[in-house]
């Protein structure tokens, strides 16, 4: 990750409630998916696929917000 990207994530986490909510939910799903792969929790294949798709959707939403933040800051600079 570039310094600009890291700065965008840190700033959005501190200032944007919606981004923080997406980030927290993504982190929660990431832990659940990893636990399922490690066999720590029992999850059927359909539920696991649903979690992975939701996690990807959240990542895409966060990525869009990060890119918008970076672009808006470049326009100011």
pLDDT score of 77 more than 80: no
Residue 77 belongs to some domain of the structure: no
Per-residue pLDDT at 74: 84
Rounding to the nearest 10 degrees, give the CA dihedral for residues 70, 71, 73, 77.
Answer: 130
Question: How many distinct structural domains can be found in the chain?
Answer: 1
Q: How confident is the model at residue 1 (pLDDT cuts 50, 70, 90)?
A: confident
Contact criterion met (CB below 8 Å) for 41 and 22 = no
Q: How confident is the model at residue 4 (pLDDT cuts 50, 70, 90)?
A: very high
Please check whether residue 23 lies inside any domain of the structure.
yes
Each residue's pLDDT tens digit, 16-59: 999 999 999 999 999 999 999 999 999 999 999 999 999 999 99
In a domain, 60, yes or no: yes
Is 45 within the bounds of a domain?
A: yes
The whole domain housing 18 covers: 3-72
First to last CA, the chain: 20
What does the alpha-carbon distance between residue 29 and residue 48 come to, in Å, rounded to a whole number?
Answer: 10
């Amino acid at each position: 990750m570039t310094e600009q990207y890291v700065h965008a994530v840190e700033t959005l986490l501190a200032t944007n409630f919606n981004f923080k909510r997406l980030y927290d939910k993504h982190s929660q799903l990431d832990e659940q998916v990893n636990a399922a792969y490690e066999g720590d929790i029992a999850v059927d294949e359909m539920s696991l696929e649903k979690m992975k798709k939701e996690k990807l959707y959240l990542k895409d939403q966060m990525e869009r917000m990060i890119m918008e933040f970076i672009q808006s800051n470049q326009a100011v600079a």
